[in-house]
Structure formats: C-alpha cells, structure tokens
Amino acid sequence: MIGGVRFVTWLFTNAVSLAAAAWLIDGIRFPPARGDISDKILPLVLVALILGVVTSFVKPVLKFLSFPLIIVTLGLFLLVINAAMLELTSWIADQAGIDFHVDSFGAAVLGAIVITLVTWVVDAAVGADD
C-alpha cells in the first residue's frame, strides 16, 4: 500500500511541475483541451510518467558520464542534463503520439528550472520523502 501511495505522490508531483512549466514557459506546451478536463489530464499524466522513467533510467547514466563537467561547473551542468531529459521526454512523447512539445533547448533549460523548483515545493507540501 505504501508503494502505491509513493507512486501516486511521485506521479502527482511530476504532473504538477510539468503543468507549471507548460503554463509559465512559452516554448513548452500541451495540446489545448478540446472537450472536458480529461483531454488535458491524460496527456499530462502520460508525459509525467515518461519524464519520471527517463529521469530514473537515463539521468543517472548521464550524470556518471559527465561527472567531471559537473565538478568543473560546480553543478551547473546538471541544469543542462535536466534540460536534456525534458527534450528527450518531448521526443518520446512525440513518438508515442502524445501532444507535448518543447520548442527549443532554451525553453527546456527554463522548464527544467521551473520543474525543479515546483517539485521542491510540492514535495515539501505533501511531505514526500525519498
């Protein structure tokens, strides 16, 4: 039961942070809702799931491979990695037929900042612990 609650909390946090990024950053967008709210929620949840999987499996490999750059830039290269994860999520969503787009790397960098900040706030609000 606890594992299910953690999964729902994790998915909720990812979805809220993605929604905030799409709302605040011009180059990140979901499709306009055409009908009821489920037309907006389903793509959001699916993209949140994709982002979570990409972050869980690809990001650790990139962090390991770029460890010297992370050290030299005092951690700022992590922002580039997070932006790359958002770009990869956009590409996977496009391949899966999910209407989610990140227009540029600059938008991805800004989106990564928003997603990180919103994730911190939501995790603090819901009491998520890793």
Find the range with the poorest average confidence among 3-17, 28-42, 81-95.
28-42
Q: What is the mean pLDDT of residues 40-60?
A: 94
Q: What is the mean pLDDT of residues 7-17?
A: 92
49-58 pLDDT, tens digit per residue, is 999 999 999 9
Per-residue pLDDT at 47: 96
Residue-level length of the chain: 130
Per-residue pLDDT at 48: 96
* Owner of token pair 């998915």: 11
User: Confidence class of residue 32 from pLDDT cuts 50, 70 and 90?
Assistant: confident
68-123 pLDDT, tens digit per residue, is 999 999 999 999 999 999 999 999 999 999 989 999 999 999 999 999 999 999 98
56-67: buried (b, 16+ CB within 10 Å) or exposed (e) per residue?
eeebeebeeebe
Dihedral class, residue 119 (left if φ above 0, else alpha if ψ from -120 to 50, else beta): alpha
Q: Above 90 in pLDDT, residue 1?
A: no
- What residue numbers bound the domain in which 43 lies? 2-126
Count the domains in the chain: 1
Question: Phi/psi of residue 101, each to 5°?
Answer: -135, 140
Per-residue pLDDT at 128: 58
Q: Cα 31 to the chain's mean position, in Å?
A: 17
User: Which of helix, strand or coil describes residue 79?
Assistant: helix
